[in-house]
Structure 1
C-alpha cells in the first residue's frame, strides 16, 4: 500500500478552504482533489472491506459503480479502468486503504511526482470528525478560521448568485443562524484538536492573505515538507490546470486571483450596524478569542 499520509483541511463554509486547497495542492508533494465526501458516504457499505475484496472482481466493480455515483466525483475525471487495475495492484486490505487508493489514482492522473500527502478538503467533514479519526488515526489536520462577520457577507453573496451549477451551496441568510453555525463549527474542530496537538494546526484566513509565504512556511514545517514556491503561484496554476472544477467556479472565482487583502473586514461596508451587532451578540467572545476586534461592546 501507498505510504502517503492523509491530510484534511477543515473550516466553516466560506472561510477560504478552497483557496487554501489550491495553494497546498500546488506543492509538488501534496495532492488534494476537489471536494467530494465519498469517504464518509460509502463507509457504512464498505467498512468491512478486506484483502479478499481487493482480489475480487465482483467486489471491486461493485465499489467502483457506487463510487461513480458520488456527488461531485465527476469533477475528478477518474479513469475507472485504471483505478480498478490499481486496486488489484495495491491490494488495499481495509476501507481506509481503499480510500487512499482512490486518492492515489487521482494523483497519478494529475501530476508526475509522488506525493507525501493525499489531502481532502470538505466542509461536510465538520460533522464526521470522529469517523476521520477512526479511519485515519495518523492523519494531519489544518483548520482555517475567518472573521465570522466576513463569512456572513459571503453567505449573503452566495444567496444572490445566479448559476446553472447543481452544486451551489445552500447556506443560511439569517445573521444569527450564521453566527451560531460559525461558532459551533469552529468550536467543534478546536475541541477535536485538543487530543491531536501534534497532528493539528490552525491559521487565520486573514493572515494567509496578508503574508501567504509566511503562513505557508508554517504549514510546510508542520508537515515536515520543504517549501515549494509553486504554492505562491496557485492562481496561475489554477487557471492553467483547472485545479478548481468549472462546475464550482461561479462561487470560487477568488481561487483564480492573487491574495486580495480587500477581502478583510469587508463586513464594515457590506453589513449594516444591526447585522453586525446581531452577529457580535452571539459570537463576540469567539471573535475575540481568534483575535478579531468588535465593533460593539459585549
Structure 2
C-alpha cells in the first residue's frame, strides 16, 4: 500500500524515447510491483491550477479559486489524497505492494512531485541523447510525420518534443545532480546489455528480490497481468516487436542522424552537459561525424525560450536549477516553533487563523487586480487596433472620392465621343 508521503511509490523519470516502456515492461513482471504503461496522473492534477481555456468557460474563475481562494497547502493536500486513492486503487485485488508511475514528462512538475510524495523512490533512466533524438526520427518516419529534426530543435515555435530534448533533459540532470538515498540512476545502454544484472540492482533499490526471468517480458505476455499492461496501448509502439531487451538501437543514431542534426543538437546541449550525463565518448563520436567541436556551454538563449514557451503553454513556472528533495520514511520533521512574540494557546491559534484569512483576502485581491490589469491591456490593444483601422479607412476615403470622380469624368467623356 502506498503511504501518505509516498512510501511504496516509485517514479520512473526520464524524457520520452529513453527506453522507459522497455524498463517498465520488465519491471511489471515482478510479482510485488504494479506498473501501467503510462499514467500522467500528476500532470492532470497540476493542470487544475492553470487558467487555460476550458470548453465550459470560467478559466479565470478556476484559476482564481485554485490559486487564491483555497488556503495555502489545501490544493496539494487534495491532490495528494486523490493520487493516493488512485494509486492504492490499482493495488486492490493485486499481490503487488508497490506502484510504479512511469510518466516521462514529469520533468515539468518535479517541485510538485516532491511536495506531494517526498518519501517516494525515484529512478532516473538515462540514455544517450543522440540515440533519443534518432528514436524520435525513426518513429516519426514510421508514422508518416515530419522528420526535420533540425527545424524541431532550432525552430522558434513551441513543440513539446523540443522541450523534451532540451530543457526536459537538463532539468532531470540538475534534479538528480546530488546523491540521495531515494534516487537511483539506471543507464539504458547497461540495461539492454545486462538486463538481469541491472534489474537486480533496481530491485535491491526498491527493497525487492530479483525474480528470475523478469527481463524476458515477451515470455509472460499471455499472463493476465501482462495482457492488461500491453492492452493499454501507450508507450513505445515497437516494444511488442521483441520479447527481450536488445542492443540494436544503441549505435543506430550514427546512421540515422544527419551531420546537421548532430551538430544542431550538440550545440544546444553543450559538451559539458553531454560529459556530465556520462556520454563523453558519444560526444567525441558526434563531433567527428558533424565535423565540428561543440562549445562547452549550452545554447542558453534557446533554452530560455523553451522554458518560457513551456510556462506559457502550461501555466507552470519552474524553480531555476531545482534539485531533488526527499524525506526518508522513518524521518521525523522538527516541530515548528512559534514566531517571536506570537502568543501561545487559544490566542495564538485565533490570531493565526485571522492572519491566514487576511492573507487569502490579500492574495485574492491581488489576483483580481492582475486580472483587471490584463483585461485593461487587452482592451487597450483592441482599441488601438480599431483606431488604426479607422485611420486607414479614413485615409482611403479621399482617394476613393477622387477615383470615383475620375471614373465618372472618363465615362462621361467616352459617352460624348460616341
Q: Say yes or no: TM over 0.5.
A: yes
Paired position in structure 2 for 1:210: 193
Q: For residues 192 and 81 of structure 2, what CA distance do their matches in structure 1 show?
A: 35
Rounded Cα–Cα distance in structure 2 between residues aligned with 1:31 and 1:262: 28
Which 10-residue stretch deviates more, 265-274 or 236-245? Answer: 236-245
Structure 2: state its 5+ residue gaps.
50-76, 155-160, 288-292, 295-418
| Residue equivalent to 1:271 | 257
1:212-251, aligned counterparts within 5 Å? 212-238=195-221, 240=223, 241-242=226-227, 243-245=229-231, 247-248=233-234, 251=237
2:114 equivalent among 133, 137, 142: 133
Distance 1:147 1:249, change over 3 A: closer
CA RMSD, 1 decimal: 3.1
- The structure 1 residue matched to 2:37, chosen from 17, 25, 34, is 34
Of residues 153, 170, 183 in structure 2, which corresponds to 1:176?
A: 153
Q: Deviations over 1:212-262 (max 9, x none)?
A: 111111111211211122422222224653323353377343574311111
In the TM superposition, what is the alpha-carbon distance from 1:14 to its structure 2 partner?
0.1
Moved more, 236-245 or 15-24: 236-245
Is 1:151 matched up with 2:126?
no
Which of 1 and 2 has greater Rg?
A: 2
The residue that corresponds to 2:337 in the other structure is none
Partner of 2:18: 15
Report the 3-state secondary structure (helix = DSSP H, G, I; strand = E; otherwise coil) of the residue aligned with 2:214: helix
Q: Are the counterparts in 2 of residues 10 and 122 from structure 1 also a CA contact under 8 Å?
A: yes
Look up the match of 1:122: 103
Cα distance in 1 for residues equivalent to 2:245 and 2:168: 25
Tell me if structure 1 keeps the 8 A contact 2:124–2:185: yes
What is the aligned length? Answer: 244
In the alignment, does 2:276 pair up with 1:289? yes
What is the TM-score normalised by the length of structure 2? 0.52
Pick which of 253-262 and 13-22 moved more.
Answer: 253-262
Tell me, what secondary structure is at the counterpart of 1:144?
strand
- Whether contact under 8 Å (1:155, 1:172) holds in the other structure is no
Question: Relative to 1, partners in 2 of residues 1:271 and 1:114: Cα closer, same or farther, differing over 3 Å?
Answer: closer
1:6 matched to 2:6? The reply is no
Q: Closer, same or farther in 2 for the Cα pair 1:194/1:262, shift >3 Å?
A: closer
Alignment partner of 1:228: what SS?
A: coil
1:10 Cα shift? 0.6
**Which residue pairs with 1:99 in the alignment?**
83
Q: Distance in 2 between matches of 1:11 and 1:256?
A: 22
SS at 2:86 equivalent: helix
Q: What is the Cα deviation at residue 181 of structure 1?
A: 4.2
Q: 1:24 aligns with which of 22, 27, 34?
A: 27
SS in 1 for 2:11: strand
The Cα shift of 1:104 comes to 2.6
Using structure 1 for the length normalisation, give the TM-score: 0.71
Identify which range, 23-32 or 284-293, moves more after superposition.
284-293
Are residues 97 and 228 of structure 1, via their aligned partners in 2, closer, same or farther at CA, if it must alter by over 3 Å?
A: farther
**2:244 corresponds to which residue?**
258
- Which structure would you say has the larger RCO, counting Cα contacts within 8 Å and 6 or more residues apart? 1
Q: Do the aligned partners of 2:34 and 2:100 also contact (CA within 8 Å) in 1?
A: yes
Task: Quote the Cα distance in structure 2 between the aligned partners of 1:190 and 1:162.
Answer: 30
Distance in 1 between residues matched to 2:127 and 2:113, nearest whole Å: 23
Instruction: Give the whole-Å Cα distance in 2 for the aligned partners of 1:172 and 1:6.
Output: 38
